Amino acid sequence: MTHIVHRNLREAPPIAASGRGIWLRDASGHEVIDGSGGAAVACLGHGHPHVVAAMKAQIDRLCYAHTALFTAESAERLADMLVGHAPGGLTHAYFVSSGSEGMEAALKIARQWVIEAGQPQRTKFIARRQSYHGNTLGALAAGGNAMRRAPYAPILSDAFSHVSPCYPYRDRHDGESDADYVARLAAELEAEFQRLGPQNVIAFCAETIVGATLGCATALPGYFPAMKAVCERHGALLILDEVMSGMGRSGTLHAWEQEGVTPDIQVIAKGLGGGYQPIGGILVHGRVIEALTKGSGTFKHGHTYQAHPVACAAALAVQEVIRDENLLDNVKAMGALLEQGLTERLGNHAKVGDIRGRGLFWAVELVKDRASKAVFDPALAVNECVKKEAFQRGLACYPMGGTIDGKHGDHVILAPPYVCTGEEIGMIVERFGDAVDAAVAGL
């Protein structure tokens, strides 16, 4: 009998008893490779000695001080490390406890910016369909995933509207070139600005690589520059949500580094603290902070646990490890191996429609029929079946997708820790391939 409101109210998950490196062990002693780092979180795996030591040292020194009274040394050092060199003009960081809180902060600082900039009539955000920005009500309203929004639609803000994501696997027209597809998406965004009145739009929000709701869907070259050009034309901000794809997961510290754009506000979380502590945040462009500093002189927002000293110490240590162990190089090298392994093992599989991703962030989209891209009946929960089959074989992976619009297929995400080896990638591919075979056998 459990007293926790688990995700599945009918079946409690196994108790996670211990973790070491890329391995997790449950209370019965069953060991699995943490092949997706939870939801692309555990970027260093488990029990990294540098992070554990940094957390212990911080706990011994100071566990908590309220940010209305104090700043913490760990928070200052973390901000300095992330934005002290102003990557892409991002000069300031604001730390919260999750990705959703980060998204809320991004939306609010963007709204405050237009007020301070003398444009209070700007009250609209444009985001994308099939996106996920978090589960708190503001972040959920920004997200365009029909299944997650449906129960709450009557209580979601109407400040958000949605345009198409960049999703060539399903949405590109027959014979359409990359450039034509990108131009069509830019025209759609432009039309949405015009519909809302360009002077009324605060920002365009997008995941740099779509995570949970489209399965590691990367944008086509030129897509983000085209979108940013539309935003700039109308004086709106670009908010990039890198909660899943950021902090090294894509092979560069920020996924936008590979897209030819810089955001005005960037949301970060999972790879920031690697799961060692709950932490998320936003990185903010200097001009946004300057307007607030010269204007009201305050960001009208705040949480009791923002910039928590222990969370910031953990995140600082995680980022030091990524830097000092040259893990971005390993992400690129192991990511190439993972892509190759998945392609060799599943590239011609009758039920695999697409294999896509970047760095150590890969998804396999499962379909009933490769030629027509027909999706499985969501009631079959094929993604969950893959998860279960993989778990039995000693691999944890992250099942997602299978939507109520019948248009998007089940997908399963692999996002191994940045510290994984080639041998471990081989084990992940083998176990995952066998799990897919077992899950779709007879379907």
**In the complex, which residues of this chain contact ligand PLP (CB under 6 A)?**
39, 98-100, 103, 132-134, 207, 211-212, 241, 243-244, 269, 280
Q: Phi first, then psi: give them for residue 363, nearest 5 degrees.
A: -135, 150
Half-sphere exposure of 225 (CA within 13 A, CB side): 8
For ligand PLP, the closer of residues 341 and 399 by Cβ is 399
Q: Kindly give the residue spans of alpha helices, DSSP state H, lying in 197-259.
A: 223-233
- Kindly tell me the burial class for residue 297, based on how many C-beta atoms sit within 10 Å of its own C-beta (0-12, 13-18, 19 or more): exposed
* Token pair belonging to 62: 């100071």
For ligand PLP, the closer of residues 103 and 317 by Cβ is 103
For ligand PLP, the closer of residues 98 and 252 by Cβ is 98
For ligand PLP, the closer of residues 135 and 392 by Cβ is 135
Three-state secondary structure call for residue 408: coil
CB of 207 to ligand PLP, least distance (A): 5
CB of 40 to ligand PLP, least distance (A): 7
- Kindly tell me the burial class for residue 303, based on how many C-beta atoms sit within 10 Å of its own C-beta (0-12, 13-18, 19 or more): middle
For ligand PLP, the closer of residues 214 and 328 by Cβ is 214
CB of 341 to ligand PLP, least distance (A): 24
* Token pair belonging to 4: 């926790």
CB of 442 to ligand PLP, least distance (A): 32
Strands 352-358 and 280-285: unpaired
* Residue 83, C-beta contacts closer than 8 angstroms, at least 6 positions apart: 90, 91, 92, 93, 283
CB of 418 to ligand PLP, least distance (A): 17
Would you give the DSSP letter of residue 7?
S
Q: State the amino acid at position 243 in one-letter form.
A: V
For ligand PLP, the closer of residues 207 and 365 by Cβ is 207
Q: How many other CB atoms are there within 10 angstroms of residue 434's CB atom? A: 16
As a whole number of angstroms, the distance between CA 353 and CA 382 comes to: 13
Q: State the amino acid at position 271 in one-letter form.
A: G
Half-sphere exposure of 369 (CA within 13 A, CB side): 5
For ligand PLP, the closer of residues 319 and 337 by Cβ is 319
Q: How many other CB atoms are there within 10 angstroms of residue 25's CB atom? A: 16
CB of 144 to ligand PLP, least distance (A): 12
Three-state secondary structure call for residue 356: strand
Q: Phi first, then psi: give them for residue 25, nearest 5 degrees.
A: -125, 135
CB of 62 to ligand PLP, least distance (A): 24
How many contiguous H segments (helices) and E segments (strands) does the chain have? 15, 17
Q: Phi first, then psi: give them for residue 143, nearest 5 degrees.
A: -65, 150
CB of 272 to ligand PLP, least distance (A): 10
CB of 245 to ligand PLP, least distance (A): 7
CB of 372 to ligand PLP, least distance (A): 29
Alpha-carbon distances of 61 from 8, 64, 73, rounded to whole Å: 39, 10, 11
CB of 130 to ligand PLP, least distance (A): 12
Strands 124-128 and 160-163: parallel
